[in-house]
Amino acid sequence: MLFTVPPELIQQQVSLALAEDVGSGDVTAALLPETRQANARIICRQSAVIAGHAWFDEVFRQLDPATRIDWQISDGDRVEADQLLCELRGPVRSLLTGERTALNFLQLLSGTATSVRHYVDQVADTGARILDTRKTLPGLRLAQKYAVSCGGGTNHRIGLYDMVLIKENHIAAAGSILKAVDTARGLSPQLEVEVEVETLEQLEQALEAGVERVLLDNMSLKTLGQAVSLNSGRAILEASGGITLENIREVAQTGVDFISVGALTKDVQAVDLSLRIKED
C-alpha cells in the first residue's frame, strides 16, 4: 500500500516550486504564440522505478487545467531505458513553462523509488524489510516517504511527533535507558517506544524496560546475530548504520526485522527524463 500524501500539501509544494522557477513570468515561453497548442512526450532514459505522478500533474493543472496528460505507466512501475511514460497536450507556453518543475519532481521521486527498489531486491526472501529515515530533503519529506513506498520500502516515523525514538544523547541526558523509557511512557503513553542501542548489554536493558522496538546501531554481523538470539522475539529489531547494497543481504540474514537506510532519501540520484515537444 502506497503512503498517502494530502492533496493540499502537493498543491502547496508545487505552488512554491513554480513561484521559485517562474517568478514574474516565463520570458522565454512568451516568445511563442499564446494560442498555439502542442503535444509533448516524456521519455525515461534509463531503467528506473517511477514515482511522482501527482506532483507532475499538479504542475500543469496550476499552469493550465486544460492540459491533458495520458500516463502509460503507474507509480511503482519499473520501466526500461527509452520507455514512454506519458503524453501531454496543451498550450505550448504552459508545456514549456512547466517542463522543468514537473520533471524535477518526477526525476527526484523516481530516483528515490529506484534506489529503494535496489535495496528491496537485495533482501528478497529474507523476511527483512527496508525502512526509510528522517534524512530527507527539507520540505519534501512526505513526498520522499511516498516514493519510498513506491519502491517497495516501509516508512518509519514521519517526524518527531509520531513515535518516541530514544537515542544515545537522550539516554545520556536522562541518566539511563530505563529512566528515559519510563519518562516516555508517562509523557506519551499512546506512542510506540524505540530505543537505540550499541551493545548487547544495552539491548538487555531496553528489553527489560519493555520497549516495542530496538534499533541496533552499527553492530557487526556477529553481534546482530547474537542480538536476534537474545531478543527471542520480544521486540521488533531494526538494524542501522553502515548499510550498503553490498552488505545489506548479510545484515538481513542475521534475522533482524527491519533495516533502515538513510541513503534512500539522502543520497538521491535523479532519474534521467526527457520532455520533447511536437507542435501541431
Active site residues: 100, 135, 167, 196, 217
Q: How far apart are CA 248 and CA 130, in angstroms?
A: 10
Q: How far apart are CA 132 and CA 122, in angstroms?
A: 15
Q: Which three cell numbers stand for residue 43?
A: 521519455
Angle at 135 between CA 237 and CA 3, to 5 degrees: 75
> Are 129 and 154 contacting, i.e. CB atoms less than 8 angstroms apart?
yes
Q: Which residues are annotated as a binding site?
A: 100, 133-135, 157, 167, 196, 217, 240-242, 261-263
Phi-psi region of 84 (alpha: psi -120 to 50; beta: other; left: phi over 0): beta
Q: Which residues are annotated as a binding site for substrate?
A: 100, 133-135, 157, 167, 196, 217, 240-242, 261-263
The closest of 147, 157, 135, 179 to 10, measured between CA atoms, is: 147
> Are 11 and 53 contacting, i.e. CB atoms less than 8 angstroms apart?
no
The closest of 37, 85, 94, 43 to 64, measured between CA atoms, is: 94
